[in-house]
C-alpha cells in the first residue's frame, strides 16, 4: 500500500494484484491506506516538492538506490525523495491505472505529448528508424517530423489500413537506412478512426529486431482508452495515452500516461526524472478521482456516440461518417475492429457535403457543442481537423489521408443524445440554408 501520510512505513516491492476484483471496484480504494492519512477515505493532495528524512544515512541510502536504478536496471519502486522523481499522488494514480489492462507498471506525465516525447527519447538513438502509422494526431506527426529528425532519428510511415505484408515491405525498405527500433501506431487514428493492426506490427518489430536493442511496438491508445482496447493482448510493448482525454475526462487538466512491463516503465521514469515532466500532485489527484467514473463515463459516451453516428449516417447533407462500427462488413478494417476493439469510441468524424465554407458555417451554427479541440470529455466538442489539430500536416498528405476541408470531428459527451442530435440538425439546416441563400443571390 502507498505510504501516503506515513513516510517511514516500509513499502513492498510489488503490490499483489487483487485480480479477483473488477478494476472498476478497485478504482475507489486501491493502494491507499486511510489510517496513514488521518483516516481520510480519499487520498489527500500531497502538495510538497520535497520529503523530509530522520537521518542523513537513510536519505543517502535511498539516493544510492535511485542512482543504482538509473536506466531501469531493477524493478525497485521509486523512493519518495523529491516530487520531480516521484510523489504519492502519482503513485496512487499509476497503480490504479495499470489495473485496467493488467499491465505491470505505469508512468504519468505532464501531457500526452510529454509521454510521447519521453518514450521516443528513452528508446530511440540517432540513426534509428521509427516506423509509424498514418494518420497520427497532428502534434505527434509534427514532433516526429520536426524534433526527432533533428536528433538523427529517421522516420518512415505506412497507411494505418495496411496489412502485414504491406507494413513489412515498408519496414524492409526503411531498414536500408538504419535499424528499426520502434513501430508507433495510433489505434484508432485521430481523426479518421482508422485502425492499425497491432499484432502485425508486433510481429514485424520482432522479425526486424537486431542486436541487443529490440524493436518495440508502441500504441497510442488515446482514442479507445483502456476500456475498449487492450494493446497488450495483441503484442504491444507499451501503450500510451493522452490522459487529457477520457482518463481525465472533464477538460480540466493536461496529462499523459504510459503503461507496460516494469523494466521499460522504470527506464521511462528515469528519463522522466531527467526531463522533469512528471504530472503534478493536483493533476494526479484529479486523474485518480476521474478513474472512479472512467467506466461509467466511457460507457455512457459510447452509447450516445452510436446514436449520433446513426443520425449523421442517415442525414442527406452528410457525405461520409468515419466511425469504426461503419466499416464495411467484409473489409479488413471490420475484421480488425472485431478482433481488437470492444466498442467504437465516442469520437465521430464526418464529411459534410460542400467544402470548407459549408463546414465552417456548420461549426459556427452549433449552439450547444463547443467549438474546441480535444476530445473524450463530459461535454460535446466539435472541430475542423484540417485547420486545427492536423494543420501541421502538408496539404497533399493530409488530403491523401482523408483529412479534407469538409471533415468535421465531434467528441460526444455525457448529455442527452437527443439534445446533441437537435443541435447537429439545426446546424446542418443552417449551413445548407445559408449555402442555398448565397446561391440564389
Ligand atoms: N495522442 C492523441 C491521439 C491525441 O489526440 C493527442 C491530443 O489531442 C495527443 C496524443 C497529445 O496529448 P496532449 O494534448 O495531452 O499532449
Distance of CA 174 to the CA centre of its chain: 26
Question: Nine-digit cell at 395?
Answer: 496539404
Point out the ligand 1 atom lying closest to the alpha carbon of residue 373.
Answer: 8
The pLDDT score that the predictor gives to residue 13 is 45
Q: What pLDDT tens digit does each residue of the chain (441 aa) get?
A: 444 443 333 344 445 555 678 999 999 999 999 999 999 999 999 999 999 999 999 999 988 877 776 655 555 678 899 999 999 999 999 999 999 999 999 999 999 999 999 999 999 999 999 999 999 999 999 999 999 999 999 999 999 999 999 999 999 999 999 999 999 999 899 999 999 999 999 999 999 998 888 999 999 999 999 999 999 999 999 999 999 999 999 999 999 999 999 999 999 999 999 999 999 999 999 999 999 999 999 999 999 999 999 999 999 999 999 999 999 999 999 999 999 999 999 999 999 999 999 999 999 999 999 999 999 999 999 999 999 999 988 999 999 999 999 999 999 999 999 999 999 999 999 998 866 676 766
Query: Ligand 1 centre from 286 Cα, in Å?
Result: 18
Point out the ligand 1 atom lying closest to the alpha carbon of residue 256.
Answer: 15
Residues within a 6 A CB radius of ligand 1: 111-113, 137, 139-140, 186, 190, 220, 222-223, 242, 244, 254, 256
Query: Ligand 1 centre from 119 Cα, in Å?
Result: 14
CB 191 within 8 A of CB 382: no
| Maximum Cα–Cα distance across the chain | 84
Question: Nine-digit cell at 259?
Answer: 503503461
The pair phi, psi for residue 420, each rounded to 5°, is: -60, -45
Contacts 24+ apart (CB under 8 A), 199-203: 199/234, 199/235, 199/339, 200/163, 200/164, 200/167, 201/133, 201/167, 201/235, 202/234, 202/235, 202/236, 202/237, 203/164, 203/235
Measured on CA atoms in the order 271, 275, 277, 280, is the torsion positive or negative? positive
Point out the ligand 1 atom lying closest to the alpha carbon of residue 190.
Answer: 3
Question: Nine-digit cell at 431?
Answer: 449551413
The pLDDT score that the predictor gives to residue 435 is 67
- Probe ligand 1: pick from 108, 109, 110, 113, max atoms within 8 Å of CB? 113
CB 380 within 8 A of CB 369: yes
Query: Ligand 1 centre from 405 Cα, in Å?
Result: 21
CB within 8 A of 367, min separation 6: which ones? Answer: 423, 426, 427
pTM of the model: 0.94
Query: Ligand 1 centre from 106 Cα, in Å?
Result: 17
- The number of beta carbons lying within 10 Å of the beta carbon of residue 49 is 10
H/E stretch holding 107 reads strand 105-109
Question: Nine-digit cell at 11?
Answer: 513499502
Distance of CA 92 to the CA centre of its chain: 19
User: Across the chain, how many H-helices and E-strands are there?
Assistant: 15, 12
Residue 354 gets the label, from left (phi > 0), alpha (psi -120 to 50) or beta, of left
- Probe ligand 1: pick from 108, 112, 238, max atoms within 8 Å of CB? 112
Query: Ligand 1 centre from 312 Cα, in Å?
Result: 25
Amino acid at each position: 500500500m502507498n505510504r501516503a501520510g506515513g513516510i517511514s512505513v516500509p513499502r513492498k516491492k510489488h503490490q499483489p494484484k487483487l485480480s479477483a476484483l473488477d478494476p472498476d471496484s478497485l478504482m475507489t480504494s486501491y493502494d491507499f491506506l486511510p489510517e496513514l492519512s488521518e483516516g481520510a477515505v480519499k487520498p489527500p493532495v500531497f502538495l510538497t516538492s520535497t520529503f523530509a528524512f530522520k537521518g542523513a544515512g537513510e536519505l543517502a541510502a535511498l539516493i544510492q538506490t535511485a542512482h543504482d536504478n538509473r536506466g531501469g536496471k531493477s524493478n525497485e519502486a521509486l523512493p519518495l525523495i523529491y516530487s520531480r522523481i516521484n510523489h504519492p499522488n502519482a503513485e496512487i494514480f499509476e497503480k490504479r491505472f495499470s489495473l485496467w489492462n493488467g499491465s505491470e507498471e505505469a508512468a504519468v506525465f505532464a501531457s500526452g505529448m510529454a509521454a510521447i516525447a519521453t518514450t521516443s527519447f528513452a528508446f530511440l538513438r540517432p540513426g534509428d528508424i521509427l516506423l509509424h502509422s498514418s494518420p497520427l494526431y497532428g502534434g505527434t506527426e509534427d514532433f516526429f517530423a520536426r524534433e526527432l529528425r533533428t536528433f538523427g532519428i529517421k522516420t518512415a510511415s505506412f497507411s494505418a489500413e495496411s496489412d502485414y505484408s504491406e507494413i513489412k515491405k515498408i519496414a524492409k525498405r526503411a531498414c536500408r537506412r538504419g535499424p528499426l527500433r520502434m513501430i508507433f501506431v495510433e489505434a484508432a487514428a485521430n481523426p479518421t478512426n482508422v485502425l492499425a493492426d497491432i499484432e502485425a506490427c508486433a510481429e514485424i518489430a520482432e522479425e526486424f529486431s537486431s542486436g541487443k536493442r529490440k524493436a518495440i511496438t508502441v500504441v497510442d491508445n488515446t482514442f479507445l482508452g483502456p476500456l475498449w482496447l487492450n494493446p497488450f493482448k495483441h503484442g504491444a510493448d507499451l501503450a500510451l495515452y493522452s490522459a487529457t482525454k477520457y482518463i481525465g475526462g472533464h477538460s480540466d487538466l493536461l496529462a499523459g500516461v504510459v503503461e507496460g512491463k516494469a523494466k521499460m516503465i522504470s527506464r521511462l521514469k528515469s528519463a522522466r526524472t531527467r526531463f522533469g515532466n512528471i504530472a503534478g500532485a493536483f493533476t494526479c489527484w484529479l486523474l485518480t478521482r476521474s478513474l472512479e467514473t472512467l467506466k461509467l463515463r466511457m460507457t455512457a459516451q459510447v452509447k450516445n456516440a452510436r446514436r449520433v453516428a446513426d443520425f449523421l449516417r442517415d442525414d442527406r447533407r452528410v457525405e461520409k461518417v468515419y466511425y469504426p462500427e461503419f466499416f464495411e462488413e467484409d473489409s479488413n478494417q471490420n475484421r480488425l475492429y472485431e478482433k481488437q476493439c470492444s466498442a467504437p469510441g465516442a469520437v465521430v468524424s464526418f464529411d459534410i457535403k460542400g467544402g470548407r465554407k459549408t463546414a465552417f458555417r456548420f461549426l459556427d451554427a452549433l449552439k450547444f457543442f463547443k467549438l474546441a479541440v480535444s476530445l473524450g470529455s463530459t461535454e460535446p466538442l466539435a472541430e475542423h481537423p484540417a485547420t486545427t489539430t492536423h494543420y501541421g500536416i502538408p496539404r497533399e498528405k493530409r488530403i491523401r489521408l482523408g483529412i479534407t476541408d469538409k471533415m468535421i470531428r465531434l467528441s460526444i459527451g455525457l448529455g442527452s443524445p437527443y439534445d446533441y442530435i437537435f443541435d447537429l440538425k439545426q446546424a446542418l439546416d443552417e449551413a445548407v440554408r445559408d449555402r442555398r441563400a448565397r446561391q440564389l443571390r
